[in-house]
Structure 1
Amino acid sequence: MNLPDNLPSVLVVDDEVRSQEAMRRTLDEDFMVFTASDADAARLCMERNPISVILCDQRMPGLTGVLFLKEVRERWPDTVRIVISGYTDSEDIIAGINEAGIYQYILKPWVPDHLLATVRNAVEAQNLQRDTNRLHLELRTSTPVLRQRTQAKLSKARSVFDFDRIERAPGSPLDAVCEVAMRVARYDLSVLVLGESGTGKELLARAVHYASPRAAGAFVVENCAAMPDTLLESELFGHKRGAFTGAYEDHPGLFQRAHGGTVFLDEIGETSPAFQVRLLRVLQEGEVRPVGAAHPVPVDVRVVAATHRDLEQRVREGLFREDLYYRIAGITITVPPLRERAGDIAPIARRLVREVGAELGRPDASLSDEALACLMGYPWPGNIRELRNEIARAIAISDSDAIAAQSLSSRVLHGQAGLASAAASTHGSALPRTGTLSERLDAIEAMVLRETLLRHRWNKTRSATELGLSRVGLRGKMARFGLEG
């Protein structure tokens, strides 16, 4: 099977067919997804196809997920390895993290958005690591002229995460957010980023890192909500050989690997009080004690944390330590949700159409004015992540490169129609108050046409029937009022 060059491939290994299909549905808009029910089928698939990421269930017939991923590490070292299992297997997973080179551990029951974000981050990490390895190799082996060129490439790579690359409209509320973040980036202060899920908190954290004196260091990410305490402690602080069954060699934690750089702790509000104590000690002392180690190891990192929780409220409720809160909240930055910066929807949507269109092999995809108006009228409770998924769906089902409103989901269309209907029925200010009688009637007629078309997903037959018009008559009115269809 030939894979599109621009579509990363993912292999799901799980002996439960329903679980396979659930993961396929979650991932297949962004990735070429293969499935296998056991290790033998997975080996055959990997021999025939270039696999970017493998998602493997821990409990399988014959081999455990960790043992199979150890084999994958040896035979296909460039494939990013993710294991999926329950809390009951956490000790086995901890023991196999270093041995199998596991990138991430996802707990059951997994959440679709988290699974999708984890795989996206895995592919991004793989691409960045390949670029970094290639550039560092060029630096070590090149002539002075080539080294200068390679340094320029590294600078260009860092510019990808510049504050100016955070998509927004002129005068957006994000301007003030980015201005504050840019000012504090130069100082070695901890930063707490607050905001709803999907608002782009990690993107802002990356921009802070690359605008700081630590830009040449590593930027490492950990989702604190995705792991139990024991696994999170080992992942962040590391462990020593022999610390527990299966710990065959030393495993440096993310704090050690980020020495001189930045650690981004996502969803820090989900951590347990017991883990908060251990994290506070690390931040206070500037050193970590790997599991099983006799002595602490000094680390020099900047911590940027993020959460969708109200941490001050959780402090008052006794769910989050007050001393840790003040330690991580040296500077607090709040990213507003998309519904509070509706002007940003258009530029973000256009950029997502370009990016997702390229990923799906539809580089000429674009949004019609009517589709864009619908997107701008929806409140987006899932923020940019939901907007991205909506655009991917619309591109996939659209027959034309120009995405019409009909290609949007009923959720978005009904949300838009609901806003228009509510405005017309409950707010007199939504109706025209100036102009001639004819002009006012035209405005009301256009509003009714638009609301009806949106509610019927631009089905002209149903809309014409409801309005008592022929299809020809409806088309004439749509042309008159500039409504696409």
Structure 2
Amino acid sequence: MTERPTILIVDDEKRALEAIVRILDDEFDVHTAHTAEAALAILEREWVKVMVCDQRMPDVSGVALLSQVRDQWPEVVRMIISGYTDSDDIISAINEAGIYQYISKPWHPDELRLKLRNAVELFDLQRQNERLSLELKLKPSTLSAAIQSKRTALQERYDWDMGVVRSPDSCMNAVCQEIFQVAPYDVNVVLTGESGTGKELLARALHYNSLRQNEVFIAQNCGALPDELLESELFGHKRGAFTGAIADRVGLFELADKGTIFLDEIGDISPAFQVKLLRVLQEGEIRPLGTNTTRSINVRVIAATNKDLTEEVRQGRFRQDLYYRLATFSIHLPPLRQRLQDVPYLANALLQESMQQMGKQVKGFSNEALACLQAYDWPGNVRELQNEVKRMLVLCGGDYLEANLVSAHVLRATPEEYRQEMRLLTDALQGTLKDRVEQLEARILKEVLIRHRWNKSRAAEELGLSRVGLRSKLERYELERLDTAGSA
């Protein structure tokens, strides 16, 4: 049975105490006192978490009593209750007694219970914070080792060679070589490529293979926020700088000092914000919103975009001087359709990751499933492949992810993709008209058979063929089901 939190109510009015006890007794272990002396005696023998004291009492004021409690039992959460709204009382209670909350009479039962629950939670959080602080003092070497271990794991995860999954003959090899060459030099880099190609992954690889690897890496999507919020996010603001700025905020540039900041979708920022970002890069200092003071920063900037920034500069939509500040070095990431040989490797790596996240285990892909994934163009790139792998894992009821689990739009292009699919097919087909028609027929036969899990009767019915006619075509085109076990 869970121990109920202990609270102390101090009031010289008997009826007021009885009313509060009736309200709180089901949830709390309530102790009551009519005088300051009785209250102090209870605090001596009980582990009180919250103390609620009436302000106007004959022997001593609530503020004076809570001030004494603050000196002797500072961990007790102190609250004061009063039917008077004297501002001097309130200010005195806050300044002298360090109260958590001022409760006005008459109070509502539900509101009183809620305030006491919050006060108990505050007490528990304070104790947790004390324990953690003690751990920090007692075990600095342990914490240092743990931090170093996590830092090493991050560096290995984003190592230029280990962090990018690819085949031995992948065109990503050249990209990784560029990362390896530029990472140690403290220059700004622009990563270009379609959405989902892994730009943030390579930005982290640049950071964790640089001289700043032991400092912070911070990422921000610049296309998701309007100018004022983006300026506040990156440069910080003072309280009252704009509507909703209820407290000071440290900007990401300042948080990333001595480290790396990754600005994604940099091509989407407005011309007005481009001017502000240019000044930061030129001067090496920021000015939070609502202030006239500047702060020096030392940050490496890695930017990314799915746009052609040189064309954006040519069209006047992106400042040329900002482009040259950002693009000391530029690296382009090819789309997945240009490195389809990487798909089996990526699919297996994504499957391992998905199994760990979802707590579901399979032995892998069938060869046929990998062949289907490798034949698709992946307009959404690696992110789309990741979603497809997760979907197949959810639907899988056996040991292997079979081809019948592949989405229909992957097995057969959707109408929106039909024109591109036909172009690719036409480019791939060779020989006479008869040869090309037969190659196309063979592909259609294989796609229908996969969707029907190689059930020849259903495939023949969909295609308007007899089983004998279908068998004849399969023999002519030498179509047969691949082995079940998959490999990269």
- Rounded to whole Å, the distance in 2 between the matches of 1:188 and 1:426 is 44
For residue 465 of structure 2, what is the amino acid of its counterpart? G
For residue 241 of structure 1, what is the amino acid of its counterpart? R
Larger CA Rg, structure 1 vs 2: 2
SS across alignment from 1:165: coil
Q: 1:386 aligns with which of 380, 384, 387?
A: 384
- Rounded to whole Å, the distance in 2 between the matches of 1:457 and 1:225 is 44
TM-score by length of 1: 0.63
Compared with structure 1, are the counterparts of its residues 231 and 359 closer, same or farther at alpha carbon in structure 2 (3 Å cutoff)?
same
Alignment pair present for 1:288 and 2:286: yes
Compared with structure 1, are the counterparts of its residues 443 and 207 closer, same or farther at alpha carbon in structure 2 (3 Å cutoff)?
same
* TM alignment of 1:20-99, pairs within 5 A: none
Alignment pair present for 1:463 and 2:459: yes
Alignment pair present for 1:235 and 2:237: no
SS across alignment from 1:172: coil
Contact 2:189 2:327 in 1 (8 A): yes
Q: 2:430 aligns with which of 413, 428, 433?
A: 428
Alignment pair present for 1:371 and 2:373: no
Point out the more displaced range, 418-427 or 142-151: 418-427
SS across alignment from 1:428: coil
Point out the more displaced range, 274-283 or 349-358: 349-358
Deviation at 1:363, TM superposition (A): 2.0
Q: What is the CA RMSD across the aligned residues, in angstroms? A: 3.7
* Structure 1: gaps of 5 or more residues: 1-134, 434-441
Deviation at 1:356, TM superposition (A): 1.3
- Rounded to whole Å, the distance in 2 between the matches of 1:431 and 1:365 is 43
* TM alignment of 1:406-417, pairs within 5 A: 406-415=404-413
- Rounded to whole Å, the distance in 2 between the matches of 1:138 and 1:431 is 78
1:7-50 deviations in Å (ceiling 9; x for gaps): xxxxxxxxxxxxxxxxxxxxxxxxxxxxxxxxxxxxxxxxxxxx
For residue 399 of structure 2, what is the amino acid of its counterpart? D
Contact 1:197 1:382 in 2 (8 A): yes
Q: What corresponds to 1:165 in structure 2?
A: 163
Q: What corresponds to 1:450 in structure 2?
A: 446
Contact 2:193 2:332 in 1 (8 A): yes
Contact 1:139 1:147 in 2 (8 A): no
Deviation at 1:355, TM superposition (A): 1.2
Q: What corresponds to 1:81 in structure 2?
A: none
Compared with structure 1, are the counterparts of its residues 461 and 142 closer, same or farther at alpha carbon in structure 2 (3 Å cutoff)?
same
Deviation at 1:182, TM superposition (A): 1.4
Compared with structure 1, are the counterparts of its residues 149 and 273 closer, same or farther at alpha carbon in structure 2 (3 Å cutoff)?
closer
1:120-166 deviations in Å (ceiling 9; x for gaps): xxxxxxxxxxxxxxx99988643658745652443223221212221
Compared with structure 1, are the counterparts of its residues 483 and 272 closer, same or farther at alpha carbon in structure 2 (3 Å cutoff)?
same
Deviation at 1:443, TM superposition (A): 9.4
Contact 1:460 1:471 in 2 (8 A): no
The sequence identity of aligned pairs, in percent, is 46
- Rounded to whole Å, the distance in 2 between the matches of 1:262 and 1:182 is 17
SS across alignment from 1:415: coil
SS across alignment from 1:182: helix
Q: What corresponds to 1:360 in structure 2?
A: 358
Q: What corresponds to 1:350 in structure 2?
A: 348
Compared with structure 1, are the counterparts of its residues 286 and 138 closer, same or farther at alpha carbon in structure 2 (3 Å cutoff)?
farther
Q: 1:330 aligns with which of 328, 331, 334?
A: 328
Contact 2:241 2:289 in 1 (8 A): yes
Q: What corresponds to 1:399 in structure 2?
A: 397
Contact 2:193 2:305 in 1 (8 A): yes
Deviation at 1:217, TM superposition (A): 1.0
Q: What is the number of equivalent residue pairs in this alignment?
A: 345
For residue 241 of structure 2, what is the amino acid of its counterpart? A
TM-score by length of 2: 0.63
